[in-house]
Amino acid sequence: MAEAIAAYLHYLSIFVLFALLTLEHQLFKLPLDLPRARSLVRLDAAYGMSAVLVLLTGGARVFWFAKGLDYYLHNGLFHAKLTLFILVGLLSIVPTLVFLGWRKPLKAGQLPEVSPSQARRVTLVVRLELLLLLLIPLLASLMARGFGFFG
């Protein structure tokens, strides 16, 4: 039963992560207004928290459930999944830094300034994050069917 709950929580946290990033992509359009800017700051924080939940629930599955630590450590697809997830995390720094820079103006009730080039960069990064996140379930599906094992 605990294994099923751990798997469920892991999948749920992944769905929430993807949904939050998709919503962030939809809301980040110029020209910005104050309510949307505030929503983006909150969404980005929730996105970060959901990424932590994905890691915690995934770690629980690796260490205590599913196929066991030895299986995952000797599977190249697992390493690829983890690498993609880390890459998504590193990419997410770009929008987060932009949104963090908005906190002071937002607290003063001012609209943050976003240049068109900065907006294009953030949009491109979020799209790249979404694309990379879409590859992770493919790798998981292959891994679950026995592919990627070495050693």
Is the pTM higher than 0.85? The answer reads yes
- Give residue-wise pLDDT tens across range 37-66: 999 999 999 999 999 999 999 999 999 987
Confidence band for 136, pLDDT divided at 50, 70 and 90? very high
- Give residue-wise pLDDT tens across range 98-120: 999 998 999 999 999 899 999 99
Residue-range domain boundaries for the chain:
2-144
Characterize 20-51 residue by residue with b for buried, 16 or more Cβ atoms within 10 angstroms of its Cβ, and e for exposed: bbeebbeebeeebeeeebeebbebbebbeebb
